[in-house]
Amino acid sequence: MLFRRDGDTGFLVALGTHMQGHERTRSPPVARGDVPGLAFPQFGADAGESSSRGPGEEACPSERRCDQPESTLDTGADTHAMTPPETLAVLSGLIAAGSTVGAAILVVRLHFLPTGVDAMREGVSGYALGKWARLYRAQVIGCGVAAVLVVIGCCALGVGSLAGLAALVVYAAARFAIVRYPTDPPGTIAISTTGRTHALLAATAFLSLAAAAPMLGLSLAARPPWDQAAPILAAVSLAVPVTVVATFAAGGWPPLRPLFGLIERTVYVTGLLWLFVVSLGLAASPLATQAM
């Protein structure tokens, strides 16, 4: 076997010589690495890499380092697949948040319609009378739906105070039931059975929400992802019972009765905000799981 150095590349080229009779024929050039047992000179960055490889080891692909295990490569794919409980919690949180926002929009909308309700003196239940009653019923149902979904999401993740969840179930039941029992019109002297039932259900809803907010809210504030907004959740959780107590005080103390409607609306503000914050935490729960 004969070799010559290529004038353009500087590499050795093998020349095979075969004798057939008196005729010499030249075999085609042999590419680098095709001749067994023959080592060709290495040039550039490949020389350092090849010298560190043992016999039979393949060169590392250019897109990764040789000393990096292939299993640790960042492929960009999400390695965490949501479990069924996490999926249920996310869906519950998203729908609950949407239901809470919808209820809040309806309550605000009622205040800009010609309902004849005195927002300073009369409670929100006054909107249950008249042609706009359907909007009142829709927002009440929206609050109940949000509460039920929060309970479902927390149970799916196994988080939250059991007493707080039970109180939230009572709140939701009272919200659903009150749709069938509107309040008596203003100025009614003799309270009807329907009006009395409405007052009982309204008191049950307010008291159960006042119990659920601090018990459930404070238990969630220490867990991810609610811990990212722990000051907000804790403040709102404590504000709900304060506004409920103020509402009962306005209803029973004559000097505050002219402000009963205004004070009662603070329960709607704090209660809806509390439901919204808890719902967002449920929707973001898988992100907190991946970060742990």
Supply the DSSP string of 93-110, one letter for each residue: HHHHHHHHHHHHHHHHHH
| Tokens of residue 82, six digits | 């949501």
Q: Which two tokens stand for residue 234?
A: 């804790």
Residues 136 and 217 in one domain: yes
CA atoms within 13 A on the CB side of 141: 9
In a domain, 198, yes or no: yes
Q: Which residue blocks in the chain are alpha helix, DSSP H?
A: 45-51, 84-110, 133-157, 162-178, 193-221, 230-252, 260-283, 285-291
- Residues 21, 133, single domain; the answer is no
Please tell me whether residues 154 and 284 are part of one structural domain. Answer: yes
Query: Is there a domain that residue 63 lies in?
Result: no
Do both 115 and 235 map to the same domain? yes
Judge whether 66 lies within some domain. Answer: no
3-state secondary structure of 56: coil
Interval 66-82: pLDDT, tens:
454 444 444 444 456 88
Residue 290's CB is within 10 A of a number of other CB atoms, namely 10
In a domain, 72, yes or no: no
Q: State the distance between the two ends of the chain, measured CA to CA, in whole angstroms.
A: 65
> Strand 17-20 vs strand 12-15: parallel, antiparallel, or unpaired?
unpaired
- Whether 125 maps to a domain, the answer reads yes
57 within domain boundaries: no
Residues 146 and 209 in one domain: yes
Contact in structure between 92 and 152 (CB atoms under 8 Å): yes
The pLDDT assigned to 285 comes to 85
Question: Does residue 73 form part of some domain?
Answer: no
Q: Which two tokens stand for residue 223?
A: 């867990």
Q: What single letter denotes the amino acid at residue 262? A: L
How far is it, in rounded angstroms, from Cα 146 to Cα 141? 9
Same domain as 89, residue 182: yes
Question: Do both 19 and 135 map to the same domain?
Answer: no
Together in a domain, 97 and 236: yes
Stretches where the chain sits below pLDDT 70 are 1-80, 287-292
Tens of pLDDT, residues 1-10: 555 555 555 5
Whether residue 206 is found in the same domain as residue 116: yes
Structural domain range at position 207: 85-291
In-domain check, residue 146: yes
pLDDT of residue 15: 54
Tokens of 84: 């069924």
Domain identity same for 207 and 138: yes
- Please classify residue 112 by burial: count the beta carbons closer than 10 Å to its beta carbon, then call 0-12 exposed, 13-18 middle and 19+ buried: exposed
Residue 137 sits in the same domain as residue 254 = yes
Structure tokens belonging to residue 279: 């719902």
Q: Pseudo-torsion of CA 115, 124, 230, 153, nearest 10°?
A: -100
Domain count, the chain: 2
Report how far apart, in Å, the C-alpha atoms of 260 and of each of 7, 110, 130, 178, 245 are.
101, 17, 21, 20, 12
Give the tokens for residue 270. Answer: 């704090």
Same-domain check for residues 20 and 95: no
